[in-house]
Amino acid sequence: MRRISLPSEKILVLGEYELGNESILQIYFRVFCKGNGGDLPPIIVARSDIVSTLERQTRLNDELRLNIEWGRFAKNRGSIWAEDTVNEAIQNRPLNYQTFEKKIAEAPYYLIDGNHRSAAATLTHRPIQSLELQGDDDFEEIRRMIETGELFGFSREEESLRGLVLGFEQHILGDWSGGGVGLDNFKTVKERVDLLVSAGELPQYMIDYYKKGSK
């Protein structure tokens, strides 16, 4: 595990960028505004290259094979939509993976924990202090840091870094049968904050501060 400072353009978030507890965001925003963001616990990130491009390609091939097998089974059972469904998957699924690979090439870190802190740092134009998970032993270190108050918490259930990254990716891409929040919701921290600002979903003083610093 290592400490790094990251720009908001390099961190990708899941589809649900939850900022429901606005009071927490307000507190963090004030802390960063006063230049004390370094006193807050860092966010937690993991690199996307924990899973290789070759492994994703293998997963895609397996998905396409399963779709074809399902299509044959469904067609034999009398489904009139089976062939169209399979053809759509064969056409769209590789494009989804290509888009995914392009996205992670530009922004190689996944946000694992720290929605409010990353948003507050971005709104105040500060770099995001981060802990990068580098191995399975880091999970024990995370638990120790929680016990000593160095971190607030860690809500993930996975016990391995590889499992954590695979779970993140499946949440976006789904699997051969569907699911996933979709690539339209797979954005960087900065893109998410820009969306919240443009939609007026944040307190006006935060929007004004962010826009002023963006000029």
pLDDT digits (tens, 9 = 90+) for 72-115: 767 677 665 666 676 777 778 888 889 999 999 999 999 999 99
Length of the chain measured in residues: 215
> Rounded CA gap, 98 and 137, in Å?
32
Q: SS3 for 46?
A: strand
Q: Please indicate, yes or no, if residue 90 is contained in any of the structural domains.
A: yes
How many distinct structural domains can be found in the chain? 1
Examine residue 212 and state whether it is found in any structural domain, yes or no.
Answer: no
How many helices (H) and strands (E) the chain has is answered by 8, 6
Domain range for 51: 2-207
How far apart (Å, rounded) are the C-alpha atoms in residues 171 and 137? 24
What are the tens digits of pLDDT across the range 22-49?
A: 899 999 999 999 999 999 999 999 999 9
Is 214 within a domain? no
Question: Beta-carbon neighbour count of residue 38 at 10 Å?
Answer: 12
Q: Is residue 99 in some structural domain? A: yes
CA–CA distance from 200 to each of 18, 26, 30, 205, 207 (Å)? 15, 15, 19, 11, 8
Is 136 part of any domain?
Answer: yes
In a domain, 85, yes or no: yes
